Structure 1
Amino acid sequence: MTDSELSLSAAPRERSTSRGKSAGRIVLEFLGSMNLAITLLVAVAIASVIGTVLQQNEPYADYVLKFGPFWFEVFASLGLYDVYSAGWFLAIMAFLVVSTSVCVWRHLPMVWREVTRYRDHVRERSLTALRHHRRWQLAASVEDTALVARGLLEGHGYRVRTRQRGETTVIAAMKGRANRLGYLFTHIAVVVIAVGALADGNLPLKLRELTGDLRVETRNIPVSQVPAESRLPVGSGSIRGSVTIPEGAGAGVVFLQLRDGYVVQDLPFDILVEDFRIRHYPNGQPKSFESDLVVRDPDLDEPVRKTISVNDPLTHDGYTIYQASFSDGGSALEMRAWALDGSGAHSTLEGRVFDELRLETGGVQRTLELDDFNLFNVTGDPRADPRAVRQAGSEEGFRNVGPSFTYRLRRPSGEAREYHTYMAPVEVDGRWYYLSGVRDSAAETFRYLHLPADADMSLETFMAFHTRLHDEQAVAAASRRAAEQLLSGMGLADGDLAGRVAVTAQDMISELLAGGFGVVRERLEARVAGAERAEMLLEFSRAVLQRTLFEVYRDVLAAGSDRPLDEVQTDAGQRAFFEDAVDGVSALAEYGAPVFLELEDFEHRQATGLQITRAPGKNVVYAGCGLLVAGIFLLFYVSHRRVWALVTPRGAGTELLLAGVSQRRPEGFEGEFESLEAGVDRHLPPRDEE
C-alpha cells in the first residue's frame, strides 16, 4: 500500500481518464464536480446578499423613487425586487439540488467503504513509510504480544479487527470514523436546505404566472371585486403578505405584493380584530402597539384568542401572524368647508376615511377622497436646545402638533391634488397658523400654506378678510381712501388722480387674488417698462396696493368690533396678523382648491397592519441547518485515526511493528501514539540480544 492509499481525504477521489467515457458519465462528472458546486454556492451567496441589502417586495413606485426609471427597469428585469422567488434563483437552487445529489450518489460507496473497512490487508513496507511507526523485538509469544497490543488499542478507544496472514497476525484498529459521516452530512444538508428553499419559493404561483393563469391586480378595489384570476386558493404554497383590519372587523384573505400590483391569497380561517392599542412616549411617538385577535377556524370547536405585539406573533395551522404596523381604520371626520370664491359661504361635511364624497363648487363637481387621519404628529421643536441629549420618551426636542388628515380633490378629468391639513393651529416663529400642505403627486414633497389664526385661534378673521377682498364695492372704497391718503401725504390733493390710482389698486387686488404677488409684480413691471422714473412708479404702486389691503383689513376689524372705521386702531399683534394674512391670500392662488377644509371634530378608529407568513419549507431548512452543523462538527472536531500492529514470530521471540496515521490534530495523535509505545514497553519485555 502507498502513502496515498493510507491518506484520509474529505472527498475521496475517483481516478479516471477522459478517454472512452460515455456522454452520460461526462454529464454526471460535471454535475458532481467541485467547481460547479462552488460556483452555484457563490451565486446563491450573492443573491442572498442582494436580498438582504435591497428591501424586498416593496411597491414598485417606491423603487422608482429610490433608483430612478433607468435602474428601476434594470433591477426589475433581473428580478431583484423579489430575489428569493425569482425564476433564476429557483433555477440555481434546483441545479444545486441536482449537483449535490449527484456528488453524494457518486461518493457514497467510497465513503461507506472508508467507514467500514479496517484495511487489514496492509503491508509492512507501507507501514514503515508512515511517520509514526516503531519496531520491537520481544521475548513474549505471538499470542501474548497480540493480546497486549489488542488490549492497548481497545483501551484507547479503538475498534479492533484481527486477521491472520500466514505466520503474521495483523491487528487493524480505527476510531473517529464518524468523521467520514461529516462529509455526507454536509452535502446532504445542502440538498435539504435547497429543497426547503424551493418549497418556500412558491412554485405553484410561479407556474400559474408562466401559464398565464394568474393576473396581477393593480386597481384599488374592494376584495369582493377582485377577479378569480387574481386570487390564490387556500394552501397553494408559501406566502408572505399583509392585510390591514380595522377594529371590530375581520378578514379571511391576505394581499401578496407582486411586481407592480398584488394578488389575493385566501386563508383557511378568518381573523377578527377585537381591539387595537397604541402606547406612546410622553412626546407622542409610538412606544408599542398590540392587537387582540380572534382566529375562527371551521376545523376548531373554539376560536383561538391571543394578544399579539411586535416580536410576539400568533402561529396557527402553519400560518404566523405578526404585528407589523398600524393605520387609520376609517375614522369619522367632521369638516368645515370654507369656500374660496369670495362668497364667504361655508358648510359642514361629514365622512369617514377611505370614503369618497361629492363636492360641487363653481359649477364643477369634484370628488373628495378621504385618505388618512393621524391622531399624533410629532415634529422637531425649533424652540428646543439642539445640544440637549434626546432620550427615548423625552419631550425635549419634540412636540406633538395634534391631529391631521389627508385627502385628495379629484377633477372630472381624473387629475387630483393631495392635501395634508392640520386640525389645530401650529406655532411657527412665535405666530400661529393653520397649515395645509399640497402636492401634485406622491413623488413631490408637500408645500405648506400658512393661514394665520386670529386671537380666538380661529380662521374667522382671515376668511372675512379674504371675502372682503372679493367685494368690489368694499375694495373700491378702500382703494379710494388709500389713494387719497398717499397723495395727501405727498402734497397732491387731486381728486381725478386719486380716482385713477384707486382703479389701479383695484386691478392689482384682482391680480393678487388670481395669481398672487408674482403676477402682480410681472404686470406692474410690464406697465412701467420704458417709462421715466420706472422704479419710483413701481414703489408707489406697491405702496398703493399695501395701503389698500390694510384699509380692507381695517374694514374687517371695524365690522368685527362694531366700531366706526375712524376709531379702529391696530396694535403690533394685529399688524403682524395683517402681514401673514396678505401672504396667505397670495399663496391661496397656488393652493389649487376651491375650498379650504378645516377639521372640526373626529371619532378615531384604528386599524392594525398584520403580516402573515406561511413557510412550508421552514422546518426542512431547520433540519438541513442542524444536519449541516452536525456535519461540520464531525469534520472539524472528530479525528479519524488508524493504527496497525503486525506480530510476526522471529526465532524464539516475536517482532512487533506498530504504526498509525491521523487525518487531523497530528499533535494529539503523536501523544496518543507515544502512550501506546509506553504501554508496549511496560507490558512486554524485550528479547535479550545474542
Structure 2
Amino acid sequence: MNLAISLLVVVSISSVIGTVLPQNQAYNEYLIQFGPFWFEVFRTLNLYDVYSAWWFLAIMGFLVLSTGVCVTRHMPSVWREITRYRTHVREQSLMALSQHRRWRCAEAPAQMAAVAETAFHAHGFRTRVETRGDATVIAGMKGRATRMGYVLTHVAVVVIAVGALVDGNIMLKIREMTGDLAVETRDLPVSQVPGRSWLEPESGSFRGNVTIPEESNSGVAFLQVRDGYVVQELPFEIFVEDFRIDHYPNGMPRAYESDLVIHDPTLDEPIRETISVNHPLTHRGHTIYQASFNDGGTRLHLSGHPLDGSGQTMDITARVFENLQLQLGRLEQTLELEDFQLFNVNRTDPRAVERTGSRDEFTNIGPSFNYTLRDEAGQAREFHNYMAPVEIDGRWYYLHGMRPSGSERFQYLHIPADEQASMDTFLAFHQALHDRSRVDRAAQRAADALLTQMGVGSRDMGQRVAGTAHDMMGTLLDGGFAAVNAQLEERVMGANRPDMLLAFSRSVLQRTLFEVYRDVVAERDGVALAAVRTDADQRAFFEDAMNAVSATADYGAPMLFSLDHFEHRQATGLQITHAPGKNVVYAGSGLLILGIFMLFYVSQRRVWAMITPGEDGQHQLLVGGANQRRPEQFEQEFEDLADTVDQHLGQGGEHAPNDRG
C-alpha cells in the first residue's frame, strides 16, 4: 500500500510537470529556455516527453500488475462481505452493541417478526430471515455499496494505467529500438522524407502538427521526436479553404479560425467545418485543433537597390520560403525569403498625436518582411525591412534592419523619405556619391566656396582641397564617418594647429556632400543648379541622408531590398491528436469518482432482530444495530427505527439501565 501510494504521488507530480512544461517541442527551444545545464537534466529525466518516458510507462505497468493482483485477491472477500447477512448472531452479541433495544409483549412471535421486518424495510434495509430452534433472527443490511467503492477505486487505477499505456507510444519506441523506424533530423520536403521515417495510419496515439496554406491540402502530421521528427500519415486529407484572423488594437491576435474540408474515402460527402481556438473538430478519433498561424507563401514583388554603385535596380518576384540565387556585384549570394507580417503595430508617436490630434494609442505601421542573404561560404545576415515609412520624432524613415545572427537584436538603417514618401531621393544621392566625375565637380565647387569664404583664391589650393574631399568620400562609403575621422586624425598628427585642420577637413567633406545633394535635387526637379534653394526641411533631409550613408557601410549587403507590392497568403497551424486510450482514461476517471464517492459518502449499516418465546407468555424482541464509520449519525437512525417498532407494537420497549445505547 505504501509503495502504491508513493507511485501514485510520483504519477501526480509527473502529470503536473507534463501540463506545465510544454511537451514534444524542438530541443533547441528547450535549450534556449532553460540553458545547457537544466536542459541536460530535464532531457536525462525524459521530462520533455513525460507520458512516454520509460520510467513513467514502467510505473503504469507496475500499477496495472500490482493493483490488478490486489483486486483479484480481495474481490472474493469483498463479495462475501456485501452478500452475507450474518444471521448467525447470539443474544449476548446483540446486547453488547452500543445501539440496541428490547421489547417484551404478549404478541405472537410471528407477528413480532413481521413488525421488525416491516420496520427494517421502511428504513431501507434489505432483510433475510432465519429460524434457529425456537428463535427467529432477521438480519438487515444497507449501504453495502461502500465495499464496492473499494473495488471501483482499485479497478479505476488499473483502467487509467491501461489507458496511459495505450497512449504511451510503446510500439513507436519498440520500432525505434529495433531499427524499424528512423527519426529524421534534416529539414526536407515531405515528399523527400525516407519511408523509414513514416508512420502508417492508425498506428497508435500521437500528437502532431502541420501547417497548411490557404487553398492547399495535407494528409500528414509531423511528430516531434527529441531533436527530429517522423511523419504520421492520416487516414484522411485536410483541405484549408480559408483562414481568418482578428486583432486587438495593440496588434495581438484576438481570434483566428480556419474553414476546413475533410476528404475521407469512407465518407459519401466531405465534411465542412470551421474550427477555432477551443473549438476543435473530431473525426475518426482524430481531434484537429486550431493551434497557430503562419505565412502561407505570400508572393512578394521586390526591388533591389544597389549600394555599391554597381548597376541598375533589380526586380524580383518570389514567394515567402523560396530561395533565389542572385548575382550581387561580383558575389553570388542566396536570397532566402523567410517571413511576411501584414500588421506591425507600435505605440503612436506623441509628436504625431500633437500634430494630428489622433487619440489612437496604437498605430499600424504596415507590412514588413524578413529575409536572409547567405554567401557561398554559408555566412549569413538576417534582414527585416518595412514596406512603408515610419514616423520617428516627427520625421519619416524607411527602416531596414540587419543582424549578423539570430541571437542579436536588429540594428535599423534609417533612410529618410522625401516629399513623395519614397526612397528615390536618397537612393539617387547615394548613387551619385559613387560617380567619380560628379563627386569631383561637387568637391571643386565646395573647395572654391570654402576658400572664397576664407579669402584664399589659389587655384592649386582649390584642387588640393578637392582631391582631399574625394579621398574622404571614398573612405566614407567604405567605413562611414568613424573611418573618416580616424583617417583625418592620422593625417593631421604632428601638424601645426591640428584642431583647425580637422575642422576644415570636415567642413570640406560636408560641403562636398551638400553639393552632391544639391546636384541630385536639381536633376530631380529639372532645374539649374543655381536655382536650387534648400529650406529647413531639405536641410533636415540632408542631415538624415548623411547619417544613412554613413550607416550603409555597416549594413553588410551590397543591395537594399524594398517591397513594392504583395499578394497575401496565410497558412493555418493545426495540431492533430489521436488518443485511443483517452476514452479508457475517462472511463477510469469516472470509476474513480464513483468509487471515492461510495467510500466517503456511503456507509454500511447492519441491524438484527431476534425474537425468542417466553415461558410466561411474554415474548422478547431484541433489536441491535452497528455502523463503525458514522456511529453518531447511526444513533439517530437507530432511534427512528426503534420508534417505528414501538408504534407497531403499541408500547415502548422494556430495557434494563444498560440495554439502550
Q: TM-score, normalised by structure 2?
A: 0.92
Matched, 1:52 2:19: yes
Q: Deviations over 1:516-541 (max 9, x none)?
A: 23333344444455666555544444
Corresponding residue to 1:313 among 280, 284, 309: 280
Match of 2:170 in 1: 203
1:596 to partner: Cα distance: 0.7
* Partners of 2:37 and 2:160 in 1: CA distance: 35
Match of 2:557 in 1: 593
Match of 1:340 in 2: 307
Change over 3 Å in CA distance of 1:234–1:687 after alignment to 2: closer
Q: Deviations over 1:549-598 (max 9, x none)?
A: 22222221222223333332211111111121112112212221111111
Matched, 1:398 2:379: no
Listed as ranges, the matches of 1:183-194 within 5 Å are: 183-194=150-161
Aligned partner letter, 2:525: S
> Contact 1:182 / 1:632 at 8 angstroms: preserved in 2?
yes
Change over 3 Å in CA distance of 1:504–1:173 after alignment to 2: same
State the secondary structure of the residue aligned to 1:213: coil
> Contact 2:152 / 2:592 at 8 angstroms: preserved in 1?
yes
1:181 to partner: Cα distance: 0.8
Corresponding residue to 1:641 among 590, 598, 605: 605
Match of 1:263 in 2: 230
Corresponding residue to 1:351 among 315, 318, 321: 318
Corresponding residue to 1:223 among 164, 185, 190: 190
* Partners of 1:290 and 1:557 in 2: CA distance: 51
Change over 3 Å in CA distance of 1:97–1:288 after alignment to 2: same
Aligned residues: 649
* Partners of 1:464 and 1:417 in 2: CA distance: 25
* Partners of 2:87 and 2:284 in 1: CA distance: 56
Listed as ranges, the matches of 1:375-414 within 5 Å are: 375-383=342-350, 396-414=360-378
Match of 1:668 in 2: 633
Corresponding residue to 2:648 among 683, 686, 689: 683
Gap regions ≥5 residues in structure 1: 1-33, 387-393
Q: Deviations over 1:493-513 (max 9, x none)?
A: 555555444444333322221
Instruction: Single out whichever of 543-552 and 146-155 deviates more from structure 2.
Output: 543-552
> Contact 2:103 / 2:654 at 8 angstroms: preserved in 1?
no
Change over 3 Å in CA distance of 1:120–1:563 after alignment to 2: same
* Partners of 1:687 and 1:78 in 2: CA distance: 70
State the secondary structure of the residue aligned to 1:516: helix
Instruction: Single out whichever of 261-270 and 493-502 deviates more from structure 2.
Output: 493-502
Change over 3 Å in CA distance of 1:146–1:548 after alignment to 2: same
Change over 3 Å in CA distance of 1:527–1:121 after alignment to 2: farther
Matched, 1:435 2:399: yes
Corresponding residue to 1:628 among 583, 586, 592: 592
> Contact 1:139 / 1:686 at 8 angstroms: preserved in 2?
no
* Partners of 1:121 and 1:395 in 2: CA distance: 89
Matched, 1:460 2:424: yes
Q: Percent identity?
A: 62
* Partners of 2:15 and 2:433 in 1: CA distance: 64
Match of 1:14 in 2: none
1:287 to partner: Cα distance: 3.9
Q: Deviations over 1:372-409 (max 9, x none)?
A: 222222233233999xxxxxxx9832221122222111
* Partners of 2:216 and 2:281 in 1: CA distance: 18
Match of 1:323 in 2: 290
1:166 to partner: Cα distance: 4.3
> Contact 2:184 / 2:229 at 8 angstroms: preserved in 1?
yes
Matched, 1:521 2:485: yes
> Contact 2:30 / 2:39 at 8 angstroms: preserved in 1?
yes
Change over 3 Å in CA distance of 1:487–1:69 after alignment to 2: farther
Aligned partner letter, 1:291: S
Q: Deviations over 1:134-189 (max 9, x none)?
A: 33444434333322222211111101122334443332211011111111111111
Aligned partner letter, 1:149: A
Aligned partner letter, 1:681: D
Change over 3 Å in CA distance of 1:596–1:531 after alignment to 2: same
State the secondary structure of the residue aligned to 1:470: coil
> Contact 2:381 / 2:403 at 8 angstroms: preserved in 1?
yes
State the secondary structure of the residue aligned to 1:38: helix
Corresponding residue to 1:291 among 250, 253, 258: 258
Q: TM-score, normalised by structure 1?
A: 0.88
Instruction: Single out whichever of 338-347 and 594-603 deviates more from structure 2.
Output: 338-347
Match of 1:574 in 2: 538
> Contact 2:310 / 2:329 at 8 angstroms: preserved in 1?
no
> Contact 1:417 / 1:439 at 8 angstroms: preserved in 2?
yes
State the secondary structure of the residue aligned to 1:143: helix
* Partners of 1:230 and 1:128 in 2: CA distance: 76
* Partners of 1:542 and 1:172 in 2: CA distance: 114
Match of 1:389 in 2: none
Change over 3 Å in CA distance of 1:190–1:494 after alignment to 2: farther
* Partners of 1:48 and 1:688 in 2: CA distance: 61
Change over 3 Å in CA distance of 1:266–1:401 after alignment to 2: same
Matched, 1:421 2:385: yes
State the secondary structure of the residue aligned to 2:538: helix
Corresponding residue to 1:445 among 385, 402, 409: 409
Listed as ranges, the matches of 1:12-161 within 5 Å are: 34-161=1-128
* Partners of 1:224 and 1:508 in 2: CA distance: 56
Change over 3 Å in CA distance of 1:240–1:512 after alignment to 2: same
* Partners of 2:152 and 2:160 in 1: CA distance: 12
1:630 to partner: Cα distance: 1.5
1:214 to partner: Cα distance: 2.1
* Partners of 1:58 and 1:473 in 2: CA distance: 59
State the secondary structure of the residue aligned to 1:461: helix
> Contact 1:384 / 1:396 at 8 angstroms: preserved in 2?
no
Aligned partner letter, 1:236: S
> Contact 2:101 / 2:653 at 8 angstroms: preserved in 1?
no
State the secondary structure of the residue aligned to 1:574: helix
Change over 3 Å in CA distance of 1:506–1:138 after alignment to 2: farther
Corresponding residue to 1:182 among 145, 149, 152: 149
1:243 to partner: Cα distance: 1.2
Change over 3 Å in CA distance of 1:549–1:170 after alignment to 2: same
State the secondary structure of the residue aligned to 2:350: coil
1:462 to partner: Cα distance: 0.6
1:349 to partner: Cα distance: 1.0
Change over 3 Å in CA distance of 1:501–1:620 after alignment to 2: same
* Partners of 1:39 and 1:249 in 2: CA distance: 50
1:254 to partner: Cα distance: 0.9
